[in-house]
Amino acid sequence: MDFKDSPEEAAFRAEVREFLKQELADDVRQPDESVLGVGTGEDPKDMEWLKKLATRGWVAPAWPKEYGGAGLPVTLQFVYNEEMARARAPRPNFLAIGLIGPAIMVHGSEEQKQEHLSGILSGDTYWAQGFSEPGSGSDLASLQTRAVEDGDDFVINGQKIWTSGAHRSDRMLVLARTDPDAPRHKGISCFVLDMHAPGVSVQPLTNMADLHSFNEVFFDNVRVPKKNLIGELNRGWYTALTTLAFERSSIVNAISLQQLLGEVVEATRPYRKGGASALVRHELADRAIETHVAVMLSYRVASLQAKGLIPIQEASITKLYASELGQRIARTAMSLAGLYGQLGPDSPYAPLLGRIERMYRIQVGATLAGGTSEIQRSIIAQRGLGLPRG
């Protein structure tokens, strides 16, 4: 790995830092638990931040310039993401920017591009991703939501679950089975669905930390015009997997974990009066070293991409390591704070304004969201070690 910036990267890093210094207000910065699924751009203030990013073309740095992005290569994307993470800048509408926009950009018609892409960049249209179902999570190709042709429409019936932000979304990129007799991956189509259409209902799912970001979404004879089919009929699986040349280092998560640990150390200092025992010092040292390892794994992914390589198993290693590290940090924080760590934000005695208690509960799902640890280990075993499918 090369840890030194090229002249171009150094100049761009300085530009991003100066922009953040001038434009990022303190009340917009995200708390450290944004790495745990909190503070991912749903606050109204984040939309004002998005408009500031738009002045530089930085809302979607990987998008081509002709579609309103910055057209940055992966190395400059890495620099951009690293500096944004260190400044704790929010990431508004990130699902639409990272997944839905590219799918429309690559597979959509010119009319669909004109209709949807500008709203993503401006923040005027908020999107949800309709993929997972109660019986189709890690095995997404087993999804059962159906879309049946009827005149000029498709009629969709079924259910989605763990749908982030559906309660405030205007549109959804939804996968539905259009050919039940085809092989699993080849009978699925991809649609843009109006979340305000008749037959769409959203039920909140509150997580273990009493936070509402997930939802169940039900479709009861929802009519979707055929013009809202993205890509080819029965080829939606491949449409939905489309990305651009995104850097995949997860540097945002790694840096957020590093910052989170620093706050935990400071917040629990009053509960270690008289100095920390050797055991506590060793545990904190372990967590500090591990956060540096997480950053180094992210640098490795970026270095591979800079050489034109595709870091499949390396990205899985990075995700697996960071999610399990987040759980270890949460356990350490709760252990250091003792009974005070169980206090919520309503208590004046709660360290970190009650965030330790919330972090501890949120982290239970860290090794499930974004691809379970089991899935990541399977990718590492098969792609990285060449082991047969078990």
Q: How many angstroms separate the CA atoms of 272 and 280, rounded?
A: 9
DSSP 80-133: HHHHHHHTT---TTHHIIIIIHHHHHHHS-HHHHHHHHHHHHHTSS-EEEE--B
Cα-to-chain-centroid distance, residue 344? 26
* Residue with token string 């200092």: 269
Sign of CA dihedral 228, 229, 231, 236: positive
- Torsion angles phi and psi, residue 326, rounded to 5: -55, -40
Name the β-bridge partners of 219: 158, 200
Distance, CA of 43 to CA of 90 (rounded, Å): 9
Task: Spot the catalytic one: 82, 133, 247, 314.
Answer: 247
For 62, the token pair is: 């990987």
- Please, what's the largest Cα pairwise distance for the chain? 76
**Residue in the block written with tokens 């007799």:** 181
Give CA–CA dist 146/158, Å, rounded.
6
CA dihedral 235, 195, 144, 221 (to 10 degrees): -110
Residue 247 falls in the annotated catalytic set: yes
Give the Å distances, CA to CA, from 100 to 108, 120, 123, 347: 11, 9, 13, 41
| Active centre residues (catalytic) | 247
